[in-house]
Structure 1
Amino acid sequence: MHFCDECGSMMHTAGDTWVCRSCDHEEPRDSQAEAAMTTQDGQQDDGAPEVADATRDDSETIQESCPASDCDSDRAYYEIMPKPGGSYEVRLFTCVECGTKWRES
């Protein structure tokens, strides 16, 4: 792939020239530079990246008493969610011991 020095758009080949379809800028093609470009066939697929589950890591808990009457845990996982309309956010909690869920009131 080659990008236009004038506008940053992706350029396309037209014979011995790179042509920008956005601003009509043209540049001569360089066979040595093109040989150094990695093609899709030459790329390595490492698979999907690992995603950390931050909601289940003890370092991501907060001191918050569980509202369940039969649980005396004082640690909860939490996440912050935007309220519809974007006026403010609400914190959602999940007890690390019993899994009870509640929101900040």
Structure 2
Amino acid sequence: MEFCDECGSMMKTDGDVWVCGNCGHEKLRDSANESHMTSTAAREDSEVVDMSEVDAGEIGPTTTVKCPNCGHDKARYEMKQIRSADESETRFFTCVECDHKWREDDH
């Protein structure tokens, strides 16, 4: 599994590159790095959900955190368990000002 360096979304493979389905960012695949990854049964692509008419206040809670893109101090957030259960959740943020997306992991 690979995550986008730009927005934190999960990436998919396309030939010899990883491609982010959210922002389109691409990076070359590294076969040595991927040798430890485990593949599961292929899943069908999910449908894109149109959120254009949803009020930002209905999308999720907000917190005070500085956006690395524009410096605004408020972002919506959600937490997801993307690693093993004995490790902390990953926090995903979306700036309420510029819609920049990023993630924060506890290391």
- TM-score, structure 1 normalization: 0.36
Higher Cα Rg, which structure: 1
The structure with the greater share of residues assigned to helix is 1
TM-score, scaled relative to structure 2: 0.35
- Larger relative contact order (Cα-Cα within 8 Å, sequence gap ≥ 6): 2
